[in-house]
Amino acid sequence: MRYDYDYIIIGSGFGGSVSALRLSEKGYKILVIEKGKWYKASDFAKTNWNLRKWLWFPSIKFFGIMKMSIFRHIVIISGTGVGGGSLVYANTLPVPKTSFYKSGSWSELADWENELKPFYKTALTMLGAARNPQLFDGDIALKELAKEIGKEDQFENPAVAVFFGKPGVKVKDPYFEGQGPEREGCNFCGGCMTGCRYGAKNTLDKNYLYLAQNLGAEILAENEVYDVLPIDSNNGSTGYKVYLKSSTQFLKNKKEFTAKGVVFSGGVLGTVKLLLKLKSKSLPLLSDKLGEDIRTNNETLISVSTLDKSKNVSKGVAIGSLLHTDDNSHLEIVRYSEGSGFWKLLHLPLSNGINTLTRLGNMTKQVFSLPTQYFKIYFVNSWSKSTVVLLFMQSIDSTLKFKTNFFGGMASSVGKGVKPSAYIPESMALTKKYSEIIDGVPTSFVLESIAGIPSTAHVLGGAVMGKDASQGVINKNNEVFGYKNMYVIDGAMISANPGVNPSLSITAIAERAMAQIPAHENIKL
């Protein structure tokens, strides 16, 4: 049978981009389908007040790069667009600690720490990892905190996916022997998460996707897959029909393609949602474990606004420093560029308590005890210039479960362990110390302060690895149980809690998965 494509890849994030390049190198005809828009550097919003270019909310014609999804137990921040999460993530590329490889449903499937080492190395090279060369006010304060708690040796300038050339000067591709696009050096504006307007951020459209296109891979943006049907109505051994529609137009302009294989790479919110829908009809052989073992990196996001006018904590790369606070936890400084103050509309004074009434009471007390300070934060000072976000993450495990709700979306429930919490005592203690150092006042996302619902930018799992379909959705090579030539390669595959920013790990595991696929029969590597 002749197919339109050898492989159709659904999503263009870290998993999908790796798959596009490596399959193209092996001689396969590839189509990448991406729900979001295709942005050039000049297209990104100058600040996050430009909601149409920053937020993804298509029902009101907002087609930006950042999506916010609210569930009963968690608020999830994710990326949308050609390049997926790389457009909006904070560039940071840490390698998880040993516990990541020895826990979760994948732990007994391989010696992951050793097996993934060469793929982590490849991923770091492809993503252009370099140590952040310069610390600014927010980072210097974190270094002071490290010294104060006796952890100075645990402070580091992390590896980040940024080109540190000369600001404002375009140079030929410095990474791939001239085969990539021109680049411009970082100016430390702090705007990484609203979309880098200077070409310094090593987003996936500048490496994996760019090189895949050079080899003939096609990228179809602004389209969303709504069905994947085995041609033989069985296990997909004779290929698949993939149905898609416009994600940005009122008239959906439906299309249909055939492919020998399919790679699901839409991230947890894309892949798990789609597979849950397909399990009820088109793909009934999918494991009953689908939607389970959703992890959130056990993290809190707390903002601290300095009242010291001499400080500008917006300067730097999005995450320019981190501190390993203990064997299971670490703290990062996150920033937005000056002028990107939209988040202040969604932040309230930091408050904790057993219920909403208690939290509102505590919040009121704080406002009355510090009226001048809160007035300055919300009405006088530049929010982004004076505010950093303290991102605290833990490798301690707990899980959620996603299932399809009545409206065709997803609903969350608690899986194993305790439910995610906006209140982590270690995070609160560190926030207090950091606030004292920068003469700051803490605030948090409105749902954290009122409802105790935590936020995460690192939702993982839902289609995890296992030895068989009773323990996972995919095997150790990312092949979907029950179907031929079908893969899940994105954050949904992550089968344990990394406790760190997961993009590098997703890239490395994707590299390993692609290494298992033989070259096209007409290609000799």
Angle formed by the axes of helices 137-148 and 425-438, to 10°? 120
Contact, 475 vs 287, CB < 8 A? no
Residues 306-319 as b or e (16 or more Cβ within 10 Å = b): bbeeebbbbbbbbb
Q: Is 391 helix (H, G, I), strand (E, B) or coil?
A: strand
Catalytic residue check, 458: yes
How far is 350 from 434, CA to CA, in rounded Å? 14
Q: In the block, which residue shows the tokens 């190395």?
A: 121
Q: In which element (H, E) is residue 255 found? A: strand 255-264
Pick from 489, 522, 396: nearest CA to 119: 489
Q: In the block, which residue shows the tokens 């921040």?
A: 77
Q: In the block, which residue shows the tokens 């203990």?
A: 326
Contact, 391 vs 331, CB < 8 A? yes
Tokens, residue 242:
């993939």
Contact, 191 vs 197, CB < 8 A? yes
Residues 487-505 as b or e (16 or more Cβ within 10 Å = b): bbbbbbbbbbbbbbbbbbb
Tokens, residue 408:
């065709």
DSSP string, 411-431: EEEE-SSSPP-S--HHHHHHH
Of these residues, 73, 324, 347, 458, which one is catalytic? Answer: 458
Here the contacts of 150-157 (C-beta below 8 Å, separation 24 or greater) are 151/323, 151/324, 151/325, 154/323, 154/324, 154/325, 155/321, 155/322, 155/323, 156/321, 156/322, 156/323, 156/324, 157/131, 157/132, 157/133, 157/320, 157/321
- DSSP class of residue 375 equals H
**What is the sign, positive or negative, of the torsion defined by CA atoms of 109, 115, 116, 119?**
negative
Tokens, residue 156:
């580091």
Q: Is 60 helix (H, G, I), strand (E, B) or coil?
A: helix
CA 190 distance to own-chain centroid: 18
Q: Is 124 helix (H, G, I), strand (E, B) or coil?
A: helix
Q: In the block, which residue shows the tokens 């645990």?
A: 154
Centre a 10 Å sphere on the Cβ of residue 124 and count the other Cβ atoms it contains: 18
Q: Quote the Cα angle for 473-109-509, to 5°.
A: 70
Decide the pairing of beta strands 5-10 and 255-264.
Answer: parallel
Active site amino acids: 458
